[in-house]
């Protein structure tokens, strides 16, 4: 020990960090399993030369190790420690089909990581299997991870084999939602869902993430919202309490375009949902509404990075969390207002209802503002059920359990009721009820 | 119907004794007015009857139809027919008023062994009750009490009372925050519910309310005890002489 004392401290910080990488003791079981799986799967992975190069780069970054709590963006979700078992691929497994949350929606299902040859036709929409887009290399440019700490992007780029590429033509007004289903059947599933919504189009897109096994799922959705388009995107995640779900939603919002992203996490053993959004045209508006229903011994992380990159763009983010059991939750919300993004208006709120002594929730809001004429704010609260409210309901004859249920549901339902679509509101409230029945 | 015997109660948090040996009997069909200066324990009494956990009964008993209610939680008391119209009704964001009314009415029915109300019948009852209190149905589309004015909240309390059809109605300063017209509407609503098998405990500061809801008995509460009981003329006496005279006699 004495021989080492003092020495590392004199080194420049960068060098110390480099040393950490080189002296990283041993790969974890999960890291080894991922690297081995890549070797085994390589010959089966679709892609032209450009795609395969991206895959190589991606697996290289995994070889450097999964992020730990020392990586700032992963501080509350130490992936290296939390990701301990990697299931094998199981091509023979069959995923159960599910009905869409809104009746009459056009369903595009990915079952056990494989898209369907037979998909519904909807006027104004072109849908291609992602595996074809990988083979012809046309989506190679979109496969780059977001940054050096983008473990989900890297994992997905290394292994992605299928998904759907959806193009909604300019001016299309979709009456009924499109539902993109990612249905796992255990094993590993790596899916990508790029969607382009053309100028002036209006669409509601539901992304379902569920399945029946102790799977490892990576799923990356990439959305481009064209000028003046209006998109509502709902992510409904209901993985079993044995699954690891690593997901990313990336979007660019064009001039005078609107995007409402609704995220509902109601399952999963280890969940990270990243939301990476950029306003790229003046007048763009982004809304994030999130509900995290956390139960059991689980870990759920919603991490948002929002770039207000041009002037006159607006955003509001409201995340409501219900924590029961031994569940742990995280919300990181980072808003970057670029130097020339004057007149930005952004407001973020994260409210947590903590219903158990063993549960926990960590909130980290970050505002990085380089412009001088902006309105930005954030707030976070952690509360228990209001005893005055409980007394009031009980004084009308509602028993304690039902009264608590009403109040907890009310806490999250407020966020749902904001959505301006009755069928969607009803469908999500039904999902809420399902969760409360299972975990009440 | 209601018999309070030598009741002593204190605030759980700090142990302050508020009710100090209170005795009161209210018969079925009776309207009993509880009057008293600020801090005499009027609101506390209403909360204790409803079963609020912030108060602890240390001595005595509350009998409702001959049974002690001290071990019952607020929901059990409510389904057994006790109703508290709050002085300050709670605003509860996210709980839809209609949904709440439906749940509450059906809980009461369940306790009586009745089937849940069918939606059309439920809507009909709510509409009728709202109309009788000059309430706009649009108000009931909002979350419970959220954005209601003081007067609207009081009307909403009486609306609930009408719909839940309790047997013992405790009205905690229902007149506060009401203008003359609203006071009339609310009082008419209460009077319409008077029945031989229903009792009222009307808590108020002022004689004003008692001109509209004429009591059968008046009780003066002071320092946690009933120090004087009488008929409606006692309220008039208090109105002209203030509480000082009655308090002086008792001391």
In angstroms, what separates the C-alpha of A390 from chain B's closest C-alpha? 10
What's B64's domain CATH number?
3.40.50.300
Closest-CA residue of chain A to B92 = A389
Contact B92 A396 (CB under 8 A): no
> Could you say which of B89, B95, B108 has the minimum Cβ distance to residue A406?
B95
User: Based on the structure, what is the number of domains in chain A?
Assistant: 1
Find chain B residues with C-beta within 8 A of A389's C-beta: 90, 92
Which residues does chain B have within 8 Å of residue A400's beta carbon, measured at their own beta carbons? 73, 75
Residues of chain A found within 8 Å of residue B90, distances taken between Cβ atoms? 388-389, 392
**Pick from A400, A402, A414: CB nearest B73:** A400
In chain A, which residue's Cα lies nearest the Cα of B102? A398
Please tell me if residue A422 touches chain B, with a CB cutoff of 8 Å: no
* B89-148 confidence digits (pLDDT tens): 999 988 889 989 999 999 989 988 999 999 999 999 999 999 998 898 988 988 999 989
Structure-token pair, residue B136: 């706009």
Which chain B residues are within 8 Å of A353, Cβ to Cβ? Answer: none
For residue B121, give every residue at least 6 positions away whose Cβ sits within 8 Å of its Cβ, in sequence order, or none: none
Q: Note whether A392 contacts B86, CB cutoff 8 Å.
A: yes
- What is the pLDDT, as a whole number, of residue A153? 97
The DSSP 8-state label assigned to residue B138 in this structure reads G
Whole-number pLDDT of residue B47: 96
Chain B, window 81-140: residues with a beta carbon less than 8 angstroms from a chain A beta carbon: 83-84, 86, 89-90, 92-95, 100, 103-104, 107-108, 111
Using CA coordinates, name the residue in chain B closest to A400.
Answer: B75
Element (H, E) at B122: helix B119-132
Q: Is residue A408 part of a domain?
A: no
Whether the CB-CB separation of B161 and B130 falls below 8 Å is answered with: no
* Residue A366 token pair: 């970050």
In chain A, residues with a C-beta closer than 8 Å to the C-beta of B89 are 392
Q: Which residues of B touch A393 (CB under 8 A)?
A: 92, 95, 100, 104
Instruction: Give the chain A residue nearest B95 (alpha carbons).
Output: A410
Domain that holds residue B129: 2-250
With beta carbons under 8 A apart, name residues in chain B contacting A416.
Answer: none
Q: In this predicted structure, what is the pLDDT of residue B244?
A: 83
Asked if pLDDT for residue B38 goes beyond 90, the answer is: no
The pLDDT assigned to A25 comes to: 62
Is residue A80 a part of any domain in this protein? yes
* Closest Cα in chain A, distance from residue B76 (Å): 6
Q: Does B158 touch chain A (CB under 8 A)?
A: no
What pLDDT was estimated at residue A14?
42
**Cα separation of B150 and B164, whole Å?**
21
pLDDT tens per residue across span B145-193:
998 988 889 999 999 999 999 999 999 998 888 888 888 888 998 999 9
Q: What is the pTM of this model?
A: 0.85
Task: Kindly state the greatest CA–CA separation across chain B.
Answer: 58
Containing domain of residue A113, as a range?
21-388
Contacts of B50 in chain A (CB under 8 A): 391, 395
Helices (H), B194-231: 207-212
Question: Per the structure, how many domains does chain B have?
Answer: 1
Mean pLDDT by 10 residues, chain A (440 residues): 39 46 73 96 95 96 94 96 93 91 96 93 96 96 92 97 98 96 96 98 98 96 98 98 97 98 98 98 97 97 97 97 97 96 95 95 95 94 93 95 91 90 93 87
Q: Which of residues 170 through 209 in chain B touch A, CB cutoff 8 A?
A: none
């Amino acid at each position: 020990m004495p021989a080492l004392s003092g020495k590392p401290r004199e080194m420049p910080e960068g060098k110390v960090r480099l040393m950490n990488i080189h002296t990283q003791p041993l790969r974890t079981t999960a890291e080894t399993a991922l690297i081995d799986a890549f070797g085994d799967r390589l010959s089966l992975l679709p892609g032209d030369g450009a795609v395969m190069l991206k895959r190589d780069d991606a697996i290289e970054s995994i070889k450097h190790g999964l992020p730990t709590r020392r990586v700032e963006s992963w501080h509350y979700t130490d992936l290296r420690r939390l990701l301990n078992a990697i299931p094998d691929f199981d091509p023979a497994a069959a995923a159960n089909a599910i009905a869409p949350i809104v009746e009459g929606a056009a369903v595009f299902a990915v079952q056990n990581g494989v898209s369907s040859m037979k998909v519904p036709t909807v006027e104004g929409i072109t849908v291609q299997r992602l595996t074809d887009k990988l083979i012809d290399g046309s989506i190679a440019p979109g496969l780059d991870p977001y940054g050096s700490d983008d473990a989900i992007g890297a994992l997905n780029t290394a292994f992605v084999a299928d998904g759907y590429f959806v193009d909604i033509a300019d001016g299309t007004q979709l009456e009924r939602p499109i539902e993109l289903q990612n249905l796992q059947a255990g094993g590993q599933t790596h899916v990508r869902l790029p969607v382009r919504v053309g100028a002036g189009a209006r669409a509601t897109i539901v992304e379902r993430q569920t399945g029946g096994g102790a799977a490892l799922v990576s799923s990356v959705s990439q959305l481009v919202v064209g000028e003046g388009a209006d998109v509502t995107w709902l992510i409904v995640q209901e993985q079993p309490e044995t699954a690891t779900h690593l997901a990313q939603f990336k979007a660019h919002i064009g001039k005078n375009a609107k995007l409402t992203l609704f995220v509902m996490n109601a399952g999963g053993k280890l969940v990270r949902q990243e939301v990476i959004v950029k306003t790229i045209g003046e007048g763009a508006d982004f809304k994030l509404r999130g509900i995290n229903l956390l139960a059991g011994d689980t870990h759920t992380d919603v991490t948002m990075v929002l770039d207000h990159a041009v002037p006159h763009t607006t955003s509001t983010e409201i995340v409501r969390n219900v924590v029961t059991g031994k569940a742990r939750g995280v919300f990181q919300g980072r808003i970057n207002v670029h130097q020339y993004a004057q007149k930005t208006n952004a407001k973020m709120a994260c409210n947590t209802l903590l219903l158990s002594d063993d549960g926990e929730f960590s909130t980290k809001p970050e505002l990085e503002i380089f412009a001088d004429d902006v309105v930005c704010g954030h707030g976070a609260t952690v509360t228990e059920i209001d005893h005055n409210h409980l007394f009031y309901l009980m004084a009308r004859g509602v028993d304690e359990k039902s009264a608590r249920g009403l109040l907890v549901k009310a806490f999250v339902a407020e966020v749902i009721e904001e959505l301006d679509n009755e069928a969607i509101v009803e469908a999500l409230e039904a999902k809420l009820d399902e969760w409360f029945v299972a975990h009440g | 119907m209601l018999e309070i015997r030598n009741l002593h109660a204190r605030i759980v948090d700090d142990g302050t004794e508020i009710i100090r040996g209170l005795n009161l009997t209210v018969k079925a069909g009776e309207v009993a007015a509880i009057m008293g200066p600020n801090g005499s324990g009027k609101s506390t009494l209403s909360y204790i009857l409803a079963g609020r956990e912030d108060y602890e009964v240390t001595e005595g008993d509350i009998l409702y139809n001959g049974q002690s209610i001290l071990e019952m939680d607020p929901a059990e008391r409510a389904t057994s027919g006790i109703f508290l119209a709050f002085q300050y009704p709670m605003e509860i964001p996210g709980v839809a008023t209609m949904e709440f009314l439906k749940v509450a009415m059906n809980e009461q029915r369940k306790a009586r062994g009745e089937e849940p109300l069918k939606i059309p019948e439920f809507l009909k009852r709510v509409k009728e009750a709202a109309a009788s209190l000059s309430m706009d149905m649009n108000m009931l589309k909002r979350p419970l009490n959220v954005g209601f004015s003081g007067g609207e909240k009081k009307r909403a309390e009486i609306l609930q009372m009408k719909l839940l059809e309790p047997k013992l109605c405790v009205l905690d300063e229902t007149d506060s925050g009401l203008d003359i017209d609203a006071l009339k509407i609310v009082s008419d609503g209460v009077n319409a519910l008077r029945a031989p098998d229903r009792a009222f405990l009307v808590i108020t500061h002022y004689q004003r309310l008692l001109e509209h809801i004429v009591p059968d008995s008046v009780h003066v509460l002071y320092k946690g005890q009933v120090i004087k009981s009488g008929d409606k003329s006692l309220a008039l006496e208090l109105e002209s002489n203030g509480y000082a005279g009655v308090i002086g006699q008792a001391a």
